[in-house]
Amino acid sequence: MTGLLRPLVLLLALAGLSTPVSAGETVAMRLVLLGTGTPNPEPARSGPAVAVVVGEVPYLVDFGAGVMRRAEAARRKGITALAPGNIRVAFATHLHSDHTIGLADLLLTGWVGGDRDVPLALYGPPGLAEMAGHIIAAYRADIDLRVYGPEPRDDEGWRIEPHEILPGRIIDTGTLTIEAFAVCHGSWPHAYGYKFTAGGHSIVISGDTTYCPAVEEKARGADILLHEVYDQAGFKTRRPDWQRYHAAFHTSSHDLARIARAARPKLLVLYHQLFMGQSEAHLLKEIGDRYDGRVVSGHDLDIFPVPVSSENKE
């Protein structure tokens, strides 16, 4: 994986940045929200998918519905690293359908529409290789026609290189480390969050989880904590069976404030928001009443840079 990274100095004037970058700083990493949605088909929110762009190398975390259209939209917004053929490494937090239903899109659109000419490196929990194998089998006729028919398509970009992982450091390039850690997502035996660290700075992605001390530990002092959440007042209006489900699988605004108070990230970004009939402003107030740090409710195509001072840049 070392060859995937190359040192770059990025210009500060990056279009569409959601957080300002001061003069004299460069961008080591950018968090790009490609999809902030849930299983509910909200037109303004694609399925869960985020990218961490390090230099000009994109790393995708989850691949919900619409992932490649959102990646192309981010490219047109100025994140050129997210051109479809550039997405060559992806991570799954867990195997729920809303986080993985875009795998066929990621695999085939990156190849057909983006000219990716190497296998897609895919990291995630046990069961991911079987899922990927079934997708390839489902599209076998399409793949064969594109490779062996008149279309001048290579025979590598449709392939998947699966890596079923357990918690721990999974990539270390010398410049970037990526760590998977176990989170508490109900009855899933394997559900992960991910921590990206480069140049002494870090981005932590919770994945789907209920209150989990591991997130507090990994996010302590992080530049960005991206975390799922549900509205506590909205939760109280749900039927008891749904309350039992959400309490076991997801994180309330009150518990997220508790995590943030312990971890004190420089920025807390919400995604996979379950509003449950409440407004975005209400959800932010529930957190703000219990946590005094910076909080943003994320939307698709929001971009958050992690700046590094010129004295510390690598």
Q: Are 216 and 263 in contact (CB under 8 A)?
A: yes
Question: pLDDT tier at 26 (50, 70, 90 boundaries)?
Answer: low
- Examine residue 18 and state whether it is found in any structural domain, yes or no: no
Each residue of 86-104: pLDDT tens digit?
999 999 999 999 999 999 9
User: Domain holding 51: CATH number?
Assistant: 3.60.15.10
- Examine residue 5 and state whether it is found in any structural domain, yes or no: no
Residues 245, 264: Cα–Cα separation, whole Å: 28
- Examine residue 126 and state whether it is found in any structural domain, yes or no: yes
How would you label 195-229 residue by residue, b for 16+ Cβ within 10 Å and e otherwise? bbbbbebbbbbbbbbbbbebbbebbeebbbbbbbb
Q: State how many domains the chain has.
A: 1
- Examine residue 10 and state whether it is found in any structural domain, yes or no: no
Q: Are 92 and 67 in contact (CB under 8 A)?
A: no
Across 105-247, the runs of DSSP E, i.e. the strands, are: 120-124, 160-164, 168-172, 176-182, 192-198, 201-205, 224-230
Which domain, by its residues, includes 47? 26-309
Mean pLDDT across 239-250: 97
- The percent of residues above 90 in pLDDT, for the chain, comes to 86
Nearest by Cα to 252 from 210, 304, 193, 205: 210
- Examine residue 52 and state whether it is found in any structural domain, yes or no: yes
- Examine residue 298 and state whether it is found in any structural domain, yes or no: yes
Q: Which two tokens stand for residue 105?
A: 């899109």
- Examine residue 19 and state whether it is found in any structural domain, yes or no: no
- Examine residue 108 and state whether it is found in any structural domain, yes or no: yes
Each residue of 186-232: pLDDT tens digit?
999 999 999 999 989 999 999 999 999 999 999 999 999 999 999 99
Residues 265, 18: Cα–Cα separation, whole Å: 17
Residues 18, 247: Cα–Cα separation, whole Å: 31
